[in-house]
Amino acid sequence: MPQPSLETLGQLVADKRGRHGVRVTAEDIGISPATLSRVENGHLPDLENFRKICRWLKVDPSAMLGFDEDSVRRPIAAVHFRKKRTMELETARALADMILAAQRALNARDEF
C-alpha cells in the first residue's frame, strides 16, 4: 500500500475498493459514484469529501497533507503559554476580544 499523500489518494482508494463496485463503495463512503471515480483517476475532492474519504481509509487527513503528527497535535500557541504561566493583562484582554469577535462573526453567519 502506498504511503498516504495527496498524490497517492486515488491509488489508496482504488486499492481499498478492490473488486467492490463503485456505487456500493461510494455509498459506503458517503460520496457520489462520480466523485469516487474522479478521485481514483487522480482528481482531488473538495474538503468535505476529502474528510469522508480519509475517514473511510482510516487515514489522518493531516498525514495525507504531509503534516507530521507532532506539529498537528501540539499547537504553537500552547507552547508559548506553557513557557510563560502568566500573561500581561493587556494581552489577555486582546485575546478575549479576538475570541468574542470570532464568536460574534460565527453567530452572525449562522443567522443567514
* Structure confidence at residue 37 (pLDDT): 97
pTM, full prediction: 0.61
How far is it, in rounded angstroms, from Cα 26 to Cα 60? Answer: 19
pLDDT band at 90 (very low <50, low <70, confident <90, very high): confident
Looking at domain 9-70, which of 1.10.1740, 1.10.260, 1.10.287, 1.10.10 is its CATH number? 1.10.260
What residues have CB less than 8 Å from 90, skipping those under 6 apart?
none
pLDDT (average), residues 17-35: 96
CATH 1.10.260-classified regions of the chain: 9-70
What residues have CB less than 8 Å from 39, skipping those under 6 apart?
9, 10, 13, 45, 49, 53
pLDDT digits (tens, 9 = 90+) for 30-77: 999 999 999 999 998 988 999 999 999 999 888 888 776 554 454 555
pLDDT digits (tens, 9 = 90+) for 70-81: 544 545 555 555
